[in-house]
A and B are shown apart, each in its own frame.
Chain A
Amino acid sequence: MAKLASALVSRLVIIVPYAWLLFFFLIPFFIVFRISLSQTAVAMPPYTPVFDLAGGLAGILEKAREFSVDNYVWLTDDALYFNAYVSSLVIAAISTLLTLLIGFPIAYGMAKAPRSIRPTLLMLVILPFWTSFLIRVYAWIAILKPEGLLNQFLTTIGIIDQPLIILNTNSAIYIGIVYSYLPFMVLPIYSALEKMDNSLIEAAQDLGCTPTSAFWRVTFPLSLPGVVAGCLLVFIPAVGEFVIPDLLGGSETLMIGKTLWSEFNANRDWPVSSAVAIILLMILVIPIVYFQNVQAKADSEGK
């Protein structure tokens, strides 16, 4: 009896979160896919239903004939969408590289810090992550505006006499992404560097490596798992980013997250926005699966 109960409990531990994620995470993707194949209609909800379970199997087959790839054809015909995908990927890639260039020295400096202050430094990196994303992006508007704090500062110390136009350009988006995602880059690199055995560097130097070549031959390769995890944590969400391009970017900035949002909220075209989401998901599926593997590997190593 007790054995039966414990078997039941261990089943429930798995089944409850499993069922939740299946229903609220996986199944919705099939619904998105289904709606991406239907026609736009002026109704509420604004699409013609693709499946009607009341009609039974015959009804489903009947409906299946009405599947249309029109939305996808339309997406490929319209250069706007293609450009939006490409520019999202380019902006995300450039931002990821910048985040790495800024984040690596911070993580390295933290890992080299005296052991006693490391927990404090770690806490200070995590803290901004707890404060609102929206607030952190908003804070940059006042700084980057033409009459904003950065321009005031630069004018006062006499570096420029014309205000720099940064807000509503791609530069502002890079700043926003680097700033918002920096902790995601620093943390995995720091944890990779912190685990590293310092005697390896000493050995390399004893064997005649200069500090620079010891860094490139020993430290950097050993930090690679952290670098890869950090880059994925920044790149994947940045591709679909909405808040940053919307608040900091200009009207000419095309990013697919923003396109999807306006297609959905302003044009109320649910089938087309579903198709946009499905294509975005297909682009991101490779990095996402790769990220899951990295994560799963890190977990099994932790055991």
Chain B
Amino acid sequence: MEKWSRFNVASVVLGFGFLYLPIVLLVIFSFNESKLVTVWAGFSTKWYSQLWHNQGLLDAAWVTIRVGLLSATCATVLGTLAAVALVRYSRFRGRVLFSGMVYAPLVMPEVITGLSLLLLFVAIGLDRGFWTITLAHITFTMCFVAVVVQSRLLSFDQSIEEAALDLGATPVRTFFAITLPVIAPAVFSGWVLAFTLSLDDLVISSFTTGPGATTLPMKIYSQVRLGVTPEINAICTILIGIVALGVVVASIVTKRREVHRERDERAAIAAIG
């Protein structure tokens, strides 16, 4: 075992400090009494209570949550299918194009995706608003789900599936009885990832929205352009809190499943022995 040298410790600590310090400062100043976000003037939660009276903000939050829930769910179904197609069917017509279309959105600049989806919606004459944002979010988040689920499928022992098929289960039954329970944690984290990406998106939403559908990031963005205020810090802190909670819950679920699986595996080995 090589020891963890002082240089390595320092780079990790400094790196994590760099990653977390801005977020910590933002959270701290959301509790600032003063309207200035750079001068501390005492503890206060007044910016949070003000949020509850900002109807425009609450409406935007509600739109964002509905878009997020709907698009994450659809994206999880589509992304999981795409992952299964990529991993289980190594040869089909147009596979190169398909895998290209799954990976390209991961790095595609958002302005291009946003513009191209908007022009599609205009070309097919769809009224822009809630539904167009949702369709756009499904499209770019499903690729992230596909990558997450794909990596789990790759490390999955296919012989269990083959055994089920040999024993006469249909492929659909095999998928729901064997494959899905095993990849469920990955599917779940794919859903959480899709939801947070949707919650977070500014550029694609701005391009594909129409009158009446303003999402929270669009609202935050228009306020940020006017300057930094503790009220925005308060919204951001709430969002960070929700995401942190989601990640913690997701990791507990995954951990618990792993413990279960290990226990089952040990029991199986014991039964054989």
Contact of B84 among A13, A18, A114, A296 (CB under 8 A): A13
Contact flags (1/0) for B85-118 with A, using CB distance below 8 Å?
1101100101001111111111111111001110
* A131 CA / B193 CA spacing, docked (Å): 10
Q: Return B235 CB to nearest CB of chain A, in Å.
A: 9
**A149-B155 Cα distance, complex, nearest whole Å:** 46
Check if B105 sits within 8 Å of A233, measured CB to CB: no
How far is it, in angstroms, between the C-alpha of A296 and the C-alpha of B200 when the chains are bound?
28
CB of B94 within 8 A of CB of A16, answer no
Query: Which B residues lie within 8 Å of A112 (CB)?
Result: 2, 4-5, 8
Query: Which label, helix, strand, loop or mixed, suits the secondary structure of the A interface?
Result: helix
A12: min CB distance to chain B, Å: 8
The answer to whether B120 touches A27, judged by C-beta atoms less than 8 angstroms apart, is: yes
B273 at the interface (CB under 8 A from A): no
Complex contacts, B193 vs chain A, CB 8 Å: 130
Bound: A17/B89 CA distance, A = 14
Selected contact of B228 from candidates A17, A141, A237, A264, CB within 8 Å: A141
Give the Cβ gap from A297 to chain B, nearest Cβ, in Å: 11
Q: Report if B45 contacts A (CB, 8 A).
A: no
Asked if B69 lies at the interface with its beta carbon under 8 angstroms from chain A, I say: no
Q: Is the CB of B117 within 8 A of A28?
A: yes
Docked complex Cα distance between A232 and B88 (Å): 27
* B250 closest partner in A (C-beta): A130
Contacts of B19 in A (CB 8 A): 124-125, 128, 179, 182-183
Q: Which B residues have a C-beta under 8 Å from some C-beta of A?
A: 1-2, 4-5, 7-12, 15-16, 18-20, 22-23, 25-26, 29, 37-38, 78-79, 81-82, 84-86, 88-89, 92, 94, 97-112, 115-117, 119-120, 122-123, 135-136, 138-139, 142, 146, 150-151, 154-155, 170-172, 192-193, 196, 199-200, 202-203, 206-207, 217, 220-221, 224-225, 228, 232, 236, 239-240, 243-244, 246-247, 251
Known: A14-B92, A106-B11. 4 other contacts (CB 8 A): A14-B98, A32-B112, A240-B112, A302-B154
